[in-house]
Amino acid sequence: MKSRERVKRAIRFKNPDRAPISHAILPATQFKYGEALNEILNEVHEDFGWDYLPDMKRTDLPPMYKKGKNYDDFGTLWHVETEGICGIPIEYPFSDWSDYDKYKFPEFDAGPPKARLYSGHLAGFNEDYYARGAWITFFEQMQQLRGMENLLMDLAYKSKEVYRLRDDLLEFNLRWLDKWLALEYDGIHFADDWGTQHALMIDPDFWRRFFKPAYKTMFEKVKAKGMDVHFHSDGYIIDIIPDLLDLGVDVLNCQASVMGVEKVGKQFAGKVCFRTDLDRQYVMPFGSPEEVRKHILYVFDQLGTPDGGIIACGEISPDIPLENIRMMYKTFTEYSY
């Protein structure tokens, strides 16, 4: 079975021959392990066209991954301490609302990147592979334009400016999204980290009133083109997973280990395809290879079904030992529904 069909069957619960595999490798991990990591990856058939992306070079790193202080195209200043691991924004285009009226949103092209980003979600085109394009954020981009603390205060006080920012950013995202939808992708990737370790960052009811309509507008455009909606969100987000499914999310990449793998599986297995996120707080960096294997099989068993619903994935950061990376991919390649 070719990769593209395998992925589509997994998403639609139509009996793929095996769980498709998706890389999620931080640049810092590639830089740390080099050829030793490549030797492991050479034994893995990845189903999203990772092999067709150019090799990651330090000079190609985007501002949020490049060591030091660098401005991105939005005018946000990033501070990166460890090369190849996403840093933190420290200056914002309008930390003061008085700067808003003179701000101009940048214009971006769409399509395969010049360099491989950490999760391989911007795959180049090859008809044998499932092409997943973009990495469109909304809540996170609002933070990076306004500042996290400022934005949360704006939301708490429901300032008129924060509604204006929401609407203007939505229009920007829709313009950019149109460029992606004009290309031959199978799915479009959205991402916003909504959870802390124990709860959603804002009240779920307010999330539904303020943010859900914006996601609905974006996702409907993707669906109208016959493409799948992929959504990533870290943290404890179980309160809004039903909303994400209601909005039409086809593939969900969430931290099930934070919410409770069995709990997430009981509520949502068979209702959405999970691009798995393995326990990267404890098991992957500190467990033995055998513990890694058992954890993966447990996650797949709880979140998948006999008919599909699993995309095998685990974020690989530089604190994960090579032997655990090797065992992860060995388990991926040997697993069948």
- Which residue is associated with the tokens 């998706």? 22
The pLDDT-based confidence of 148 (bands split at 50, 70, 90) is very high
The tokens of 277 are what?
């996120």
b/e per residue 105-116 (b: at least 16 CB within 10 A): beeeebebbebb
What's the pLDDT at 228? 98
**Which helix (H) or strand (E) covers residue 230, if one does?**
strand 228-233
The pLDDT score that the predictor gives to residue 115 is 40
Token pair for residue 102? 């003179």
Q: What percent of the chain has pLDDT over 70?
A: 96
Q: Flag whether the pTM goes above 0.85.
A: yes
165: number of Cβ within 10 Å? 21
Instruction: Return the bridge partners of 254, or none.
Output: 233
Q: Which residue has the tokens 């933190």?
A: 88
311 DSSP β-pair partners: 275
- Report the helix count and the strand count for the chain, using DSSP H and E: 14, 9
Is residue 143 over pLDDT 60? yes
pLDDT for the residue 112: 66
Please name the residue that has the structure tokens 């050829």: 35
Task: Say how far apart CA 190 and CA 179 lie, in whole Å.
Answer: 15
Residue 185: how many other CB atoms lie within 10 Å: 23
* Residue whose entry in the numeric block shows the structure tokens 């006999």: 306
For the cut 90, the answer to whether the pLDDT of residue 50 exceeds it is no
Residue 127 banded pLDDT, cuts 50, 70, 90: confident
Per-position b or e across 68-104, b if 16+ CB within 10 A of its CB:
eebeeebbbbbebeebbbebebeebbbeebeeeeeee
Find the range with the poorest average confidence among 118-122, 139-143, 145-149: 118-122
> What distance in Å separates the CA atoms of residue 325 and residue 321, rounded to the nearest whole number?
6
- Structural domain of 185: 3-334
- Can you give the CATH number for the domain in which 301 is found? 3.20.20.210
pLDDT band for position 113 (50/70/90)?
low
Query: Cα-atom radius of gyration of the chain, to the nearest Å?
Result: 19
pLDDT at position 125, please? 61
Q: Which pLDDT band, with edges at 50, 70 and 90, does 221 fall under?
A: very high
pLDDT at 182 over 90: yes
Residue 222 tokens, joined: 């993707």
Provide mean pLDDT across the span 42-55. Answer: 87
Number of domains in the chain: 1
Amino acid identity at 281: Q
In which band, very low, low, confident or very high, does the pLDDT at 59 lie, cut at 50, 70 and 90? confident
